[in-house]
């Protein structure tokens, strides 16, 4: 289903449905009162953002370690592999919803509501930023403790009144700290308005790391040599260019012609570097233009590797690479489960809110209009010309990468 279609449904159907659901839930809970218990079977809802499954990982581990919660997760089926990188949730506690059509979406939604009752979900934490669909899922889950971001006095973010523990979303601190605020509200012993009046230290954002075996590395090296016959692990050092970005926000892409210019300079100046272009299978054809534009002997040291790995195989690839240059997209967060450094472009969004939790360097022009997407506009910007990224030149990026490249010579 197209992103704009989902936004339209969330708006036009979501507003009246959340109003109706609010009346039904409040009436039911008045007629059948029941005190919320401390959370035991806790469900997290994050449907659309694969990167957020990585960003919430420190929160999940905190709840398991400090509160012994039995954790569950709801996610769109196509995004479920992102949960398999660190395995924070038992497989039997994950429910997926298909979003490739209205009928599968409706059917899986009804199945989810029944699943919540079978699992005796008592607490739901809605990680989405003011989605009305997830508000409905939260309100109708049957849980008596329902946590999420609430608009309070902000205009234009109405999604009913289905939450029992309302948290003020803070656009000035990292999203993982916002997720910690939700976790605090879920386990709070006393009410607050708003939740959660706590300070989250930076050390709390420590991320777990994926385990990569020697066998997985060997298999990945073999696959690289199959797709890139010129690659010799004895002579070359891998550098990754992740030049894609999800359809959720295509304005996050640094221009492809800039990637081409930068690739030429990197390959010409650093003969040990072998460039691999990463991406999803559907992005392979679009990335072909980059190696096609490289001439001379340098053409033998660049290859299109898009679609060559599954998401769960990425840690093996990342463990073999020196570093990755990436648009602001899921792989920048997936890389954080390894020790590989990343350099990530930002423009429509800000690294202060969505920066990777791994060893990362943001590349950000900081224009007066940036960031232009937020919870308030459902991440839909009126911009159709991403000057915030186009203005970052290949020369500027090369200068940022130079220390890491020099270490490979």
Regarding whether 166 and 222 lie in a shared domain, the answer is no
Examine the domain organization and report whether 247 and 161 are in the same domain: no
Select from 283, 291, 289, 311 the least CA-distant residue to 229. 291
- Residue closest to 331 by CA, chosen among 309, 298, 301: 309
Phi and psi, residue 369, nearest 5° = -95, 0
Burial of 390 (0-12, 13-18, 19+ CB in 10 A): middle
Both tokens assigned to 402: 């130079």
Residue holding tokens 């506690």? 93
Q: Indicate the residue among 146, 180, 205 that finishes a domain.
A: 205
Cis peptide leading into residue 194 (ω within 30°)? yes
**Shared-domain flag, residues 301 and 190:** no
Radius of gyration of the chain (CA): 22
Please answer whether residues 346 and 364 qualify as being in contact, where contact means their C-beta atoms are separated by less than 8 angstroms: yes
Two tokens, residue 148? 């999420």
Can you give the CATH number for the domain in which 383 is found? 3.40.50.2000
Domain hosting residue 172, numbered range = 3-205
CA distance 98 to 156: 28
Residue 182 shares a structural domain with residue 249: no
HSE, side-chain direction, 13 A CA sphere, residue 177: 17
The closest of 275, 337, 336, 270 to 306, measured between CA atoms, is 275
The DSSP-derived string for 116-181 is HHHTT--EEEE-SSS-HHHHHHHHTS--SEEEEEE-TT-SS----S--SEEEE--TTS-HHHHHHH
pLDDT value of position 6? 84
10 and 121, same domain (yes or no): yes
The dihedral of CA 350, 14, 33, 40: what is its sign?
negative
Residues 241, 142 share a domain: no
Boundary (domain end) residue, out of 205, 239, 259? 205
**Tens digits of pLDDT across the chain (409 residues):** 777 888 888 989 999 999 999 999 999 999 999 877 789 999 999 998 899 999 999 999 999 999 999 999 999 999 999 999 999 999 999 999 999 999 999 999 999 999 999 999 999 999 999 999 999 999 999 999 999 999 999 888 899 999 999 999 999 999 999 999 999 999 998 999 999 999 999 999 999 999 999 999 999 999 999 999 999 999 999 999 999 856 667 889 999 999 999 999 999 999 999 999 999 998 999 999 999 999 889 999 999 999 999 999 999 999 999 999 999 999 999 999 999 999 999 999 999 999 999 999 999 999 999 999 888 888 888 899 999 999 999 999 999 999 999 999 9
Same domain for 164 and 243, yes or no, is no
Q: Is 138 exposed, middle or buried (CB count within 10 Å of its CB: 0-12, 13-18, 19+)?
A: buried
Query: How many CB atoms are closer than 10 A to CB 209?
Result: 14
91/240 same-domain check: no
- In whole angstroms, what is the distance from residue 302 CA to residue 321 CA? 14
Same-domain status, 182 and 312: no
Angle between helix axes 175-187 and 57-67 (nearest 10 degrees) is 30
Of 186, 193, 149, residue with least CA distance to 167: 149
Q: Is 226 left (phi over 0), alpha (psi -120 to 50) or beta?
A: alpha
- At 245 the pLDDT is 59
For residue 285, whether the previous peptide bond is cis, meaning omega lies within 30 degrees of 0, is: no
Q: In terms of domains, do 193 and 272 share one?
A: no
Domain end among 177, 205, 233: 205
Q: What share of the chain is helix, strand, coil (3-state, %, to 5)?
A: 45, 15, 40
Measured CA to CA, the distance from residue 147 to residue 289 in angstroms comes to 46
Residue 35 DSSP symbol: P
Q: Are residues 369 and 318 in the same domain?
A: yes
- On whether both 242 and 267 belong to a single domain, the answer is yes
CA–CA separation, 127 vs 130, rounded Å? 9
Which pTM does this prediction carry? 0.94
Looking at the structure of the chain, the number of domains it has is 2
pLDDT at 3: 78
pLDDT at 36: 73
């Amino acid at each position: 289903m197209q992103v704009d279609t989902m936004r339209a449904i969330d708006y036009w159907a979501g507003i009246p449905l959340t109003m109706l659901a609010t009346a039904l839930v409040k009436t039911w809970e008045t007629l059948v009162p029941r005190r919320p218990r401390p959370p035991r079977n806790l469900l997290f809802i994050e449907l659309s953002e694969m990167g957020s499954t990585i960003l919430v990982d420190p929160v999940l581990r905190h709840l398991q370690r400090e509160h012994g919660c039995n954790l569950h997760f709801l996610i769109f089926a196509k995004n479920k592999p992102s949960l398999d990188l660190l395995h924070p949730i038992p497989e039997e506690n994950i429910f997926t919803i298909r979003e490739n059509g209205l009928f599968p979406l409706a059917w899986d939604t009804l199945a989810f509501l029944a699943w919540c009752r079978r699992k005796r979900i008592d607490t739901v934490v809605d990680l989405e930023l003011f989605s009305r669909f997830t508000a409905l899922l939260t309100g109708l889950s049957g849980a008596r403790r329902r946590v999420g971001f609430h608009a309070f006095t902000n205009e234009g973010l109405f999604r009913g009144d289905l939450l029992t523990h309302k948290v003020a979303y803070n656009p000035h601190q990292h999203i993982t700290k916002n997720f910690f605020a939700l976790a605090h509200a879920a386990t709070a012993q006393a009410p607050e308005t708003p939740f959660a009046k706590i300070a989250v230290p930076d050390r709390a954002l420590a991320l777990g790391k994926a385990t990569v075996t020697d066998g997985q590395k060997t298999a990945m090296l073999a696959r690289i040599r199959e797709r890139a016959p010129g690659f010799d692990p004895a002579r070359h050092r891998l550098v990754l260019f992740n030049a894609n970005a999800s359809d959720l926000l295509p304005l996050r892409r640094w221009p492809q012609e800039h990637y081409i210019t930068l690739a030429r300079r990197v390959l010409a100046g650093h003969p040990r570097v072998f460039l691999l272009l990463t991406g999803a299978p559907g992005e392979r054809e679009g990335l072909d233009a980059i190696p096609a534009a490289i001439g001379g002997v340098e053409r033998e040291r660049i290859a299109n590797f898009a679609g060559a790995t599954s998401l769960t195989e990425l840690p093996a690839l990342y463990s073999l690479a020196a570093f990755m240059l990436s648009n602001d997209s899921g792989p920048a967060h997936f890389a954080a489960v390894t020790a590989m450094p990343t350099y990530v472009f930002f423009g429509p969004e800000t690294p202060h809110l969505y920066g990777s939790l791994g060893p990362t360097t943001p590349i950000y022009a900081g224009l007066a209009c940036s960031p232009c997407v937020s919870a308030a506009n459902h991440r839909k910007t009126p911009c159709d010309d991403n000057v915030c990224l186009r203005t970052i030149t290949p020369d500027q990026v090369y200068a940022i990468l130079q220390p890491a490249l020099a270490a490979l010579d």
